[in-house]
Structure 1
Amino acid sequence: MNEQLEQNSSFNQQAPPPNYLAWAIITTILCCLPFGVVSIIYAAQVNTKWQMGDYEGAKLSSKNAKIWAWVSFGVAIAGVIVWALLVIFGIVAGLGLGALEGINV
């Protein structure tokens, strides 16, 4: 019991892990809504778990918030790349059809 109290007091002296809440909100608004919401949920759990003494849970929630924020960001970047490729292919296809207009079959 005494060992557990010493461990808890050493954790209380440390700062809680980062909650990544600002990053989660930004990726939700600007990037990908579903994955950003998951990140916000985990980010909101960090400080609460830390204050309740669930230090490992707080660290895990912090890690999950960061992972889901990155997933949201990555999905947004992938979406922008796919959109850009579709626009480029559409322009190229349109130019190709324009070149074929003068040919009589």
Structure 2
Amino acid sequence: MEPESTTEQLQYTPAPPSLSMSSYPPAVDHTVYQPANPIAQPPPPYAYPQQQLQTATTNVSVVTVAQQPTTNIIALAVRPPNHIALSLVNLFCCCFPLGLIALIYSLRVDSEYSAGNYQEARRASNTARSLNIAGITIGIILLVCTIIYIGIHAAVVAS
């Protein structure tokens, strides 16, 4: 089924005279608004009688000091190095006791920094570094002593 098509003719009808374009823009009245009863008298006095002001002339300088705005600068401390990799190398390869203590201090660096104790984090970082240097130094000395001992023992056994 096809829809029926109807053709309607639309006819143009002019606008009524009240809406024609000849009256556009509408005329503007430029008269100034005047209230019907202008206020000609002052407001009624308040409940308190007005006092007479006494003026005195003195040579006084008035200085007004305004507080300057302050700028608060909050500088976050730079996260100190935790030396955790060096502590693990020291723990497994050089000197176990000092490596273990250095690892504990290395882990304290991050927890102290997260808690906002920047000075304690710096102190723990310095302690971990010092323990790692001491542990590696002791490990190298023990390695050199072991090599010398094995060399001397091999020479004695060979002779």
TM-score class, shorter-chain normalisation, is: 0.7 to 0.9
TM-score normalised per structure 1: 0.76
- 1:27-58 Cα offsets, whole Å, 9 max, x none, are 11111111000100110011111121211111
Alignment of 1:22 onto 2:88: no
Amino acid at match of 1:48: S
- SS state of the match for residue 78, structure 2? coil
- 1:1-33 Cα offsets, whole Å, 9 max, x none, are xxxxx57x21x2x42100001111111111111
Q: Per-residue deviation at 1:74? A: 1.0
Where do 5+ consecutive residues of structure 2 fail to align?
Answer: 1-71
TM-score normalised per structure 2: 0.51
Q: Per-residue deviation at 1:92? A: 2.4
Q: 1:37 & 1:59 partners in 2: Cα distance?
A: 19
> Which of structures 1 and 2 has the bigger CA Rg?
2
Alignment of 1:53 onto 2:119: no
Amino acid at match of 1:94: V
User: Match of 2:153?
Assistant: 90
* Matched ranges for 1:1-105 at <5 A: 9-10=74-75, 12=76, 14-95=77-158, 98=159
Which has the larger share of helix? Answer: 1
Runs of at least 4 residues off by over 6 Å = none
Amino acid at match of 1:41: I
Q: 1:42 & 1:83 partners in 2: Cα distance?
A: 29
Amino acid at match of 1:73: I
Amino acid at match of 1:61: A
Where do 5+ consecutive residues of structure 1 fail to align?
Answer: 1-5, 99-105
User: Greater RCO between the two (CA within 8 Å, min separation 6)?
Assistant: 1
